[in-house]
Amino acid sequence: MSELSVAKGSCLCGAVSLSTTSMNPHVAACHCNMCRKWGGGALMAVECSSDVSFSGEENIGLYQSSEWAERGFCKQCGSHLFYRYKQNNQYYIPAGIFDNESDLVLEHQVFIDEKPEYYSFANETKNMTGKEIFAQFGSQSEWFS
- pLDDT, tens digit, for every residue of 40-98? 999 999 999 899 999 999 999 999 998 889 999 999 999 999 999 888 999 999 999 99
pLDDT in tens, 115-138: 999 999 999 999 999 999 878 766
Whether residue 142 is predicted with pLDDT greater than 50 in this model: the reply is no
What is the pLDDT of the chain when averaged over all its residues?
90
Q: Which top CATH class is 7-141?
A: mainly beta
Q: What is the pLDDT of residue 114?
A: 96
Q: What is the pLDDT of residue 5?
A: 85
CA dihedral defined by 123, 129, 133, 138, rounded to 10 degrees? 170
Is residue 129 classed exposed, middle or buried when 0-12, 13-18 and 19+ CB atoms within 10 A define those classes? middle
Tell me the pTM. 0.86
Q: What is the pLDDT of residue 110?
A: 95
What is the distance between the alpha carbons of residues 80 and 114, in angstroms, rounded to a whole number? 21
Q: What is the pLDDT of residue 4?
A: 58
Neighbours of 123 (CB within 10 A): 12
Q: What is the pLDDT of residue 143?
A: 47
Q: What is the pLDDT of residue 68?
A: 83
Neighbours of 128 (CB within 10 A): 20
Neighbours of 52 (CB within 10 A): 21
Q: Please give the single-letter amino acid code of residue 34.
A: M
- Residue pair 97/10 in contact (Cβ under 8 Å)? The answer is yes
Every domain of the chain and the residues it spans: 7-141
- Residue pair 108/30 in contact (Cβ under 8 Å)? The answer is no
